[in-house]
Each structure stands twice: as structure tokens, then as C-alpha cells.
Amino acid sequence: MMWGIQGNENGFSGQSVVKELTGAVLLLVVAAGYAALAGGINPSALDDGVGAAGIPFIYAALVGALGLALAARAAAARWFGRAAPRLAGVESRRLLGAAGMLGIGVAYVAVVPFVGYPLALAGVLAGAALYQGERPGRRLVGVALGGGAAFWLFFEGFLRLDMPSGFWPALWGG
């Protein structure tokens, strides 16, 4: 018996509560980190009422809300001795797929200041394609690098937005 909860006829146990609380804490840590990184986004000449950091902050708030919901679910199980009803039709595989894509996005936010926008975006494109089942190869590398370069040219050249450059200017003496 863990946390005073015994398994019930549905097989729910204190171990499930610990797993859900662990997941909740991890989601809250990711949300806090994402919000902190979003706070470092510079204002843009194209800013509107939301601003350049608006969507990342909304993303962080949604991830945080999911963490709080998971914690509430675990607390309800702890206090009432049973699990909250699960959503019908939600498959673990789909949730894991979403978590993997979230991981790719979090990795992008973490590395973009260091490696720069074009290379980080190429990593996202390649990572997402591989995660979705694309086979590795020259074509994938070419598409990822070309996509990173194309978006960088669009944002830097056409829209005149300063995208993160990473360590590259230091290599070129800039």
C-alpha cells in the first residue's frame, strides 16, 4: 500500500498515483523552462498585440495546465481511493506521439540560441520526419538543410527579422 491507497477492482493503485504525480511535475518543469526561454525572445518589428513571445507563452501555459490537471487527477485518486475516469478513445500511442513532438519542440528551443536558427530548424525538420517514420538518407538531410536555409532567408532577408545566429558569427570573426 502506497499513500494509503490499495488497488481496487479497476486495478488502480498508489503506484499509479506516483506515476501521475511524476508526470505532472515533469510537465510543470517543462512549462516553467519553456516560459523562461520564451521570456528571452526579443520584440520584433512585426509584433502585434500578442508579440513574438505570445505563442510560446500560451504553449507554456497549456503545458502547465496539463501538468496541473494531471496533479489534480492524482490528488483525487489519493483522496478518494480511485482513479478519475479516463477519456474514451484516447490511446497511449497517440499520447506518446504528441509527447515526442513536444520533446522535439523543447529541444529546438533549448538549442536554437547555441547553434542558430537555420541549423536548429533543420534539426526540427529532420527530427520530426524521422519520428514520423521517414527513412534516414541524403534526401532527408538535403530537405532539412534546405528548409532551414529557406526559412532563414525568408525571415532574415525578406522580413528583416533577427533570427538567432548561434556560435557561427564567432567562427567568422563577427
Question: Is residue 27 within 8 Å of residue 64, measured between CB atoms?
Answer: yes
Pick the range with the lowest mean pLDDT from 5-19, 33-47, 55-69: 5-19
Geometric angle at alpha carbon 67, from 99 and 50, rounded to 5°? 85
**pLDDT score of 10:** 45
Tell me which H or E stretch contains 54.
Answer: helix 54-80
| Alpha carbon 136 to its chain's center | 23
**What digits encode the pLDDT tens for the residues 69-121?**
888 877 877 776 655 555 544 556 666 777 888 889 888 888 988 999 999 99
Question: Is residue 158 within 8 Å of residue 140, measured between CB atoms?
Answer: no
Could you give phi then psi for residue 96, rounded to 5 degrees? -65, -35
Question: Is residue 127 within 8 Å of residue 112, measured between CB atoms?
Answer: no
State the average pLDDT for the chain.
78
Q: How far apart are CA 149 and CA 27, in angstroms?
A: 32
**The overall pTM is greater than 0.85:** no
Task: Quote the percentage of the chain above a pLDDT of 70.
Answer: 75
Asked if the model's pLDDT at residue 150 lies above 90, the reply is yes
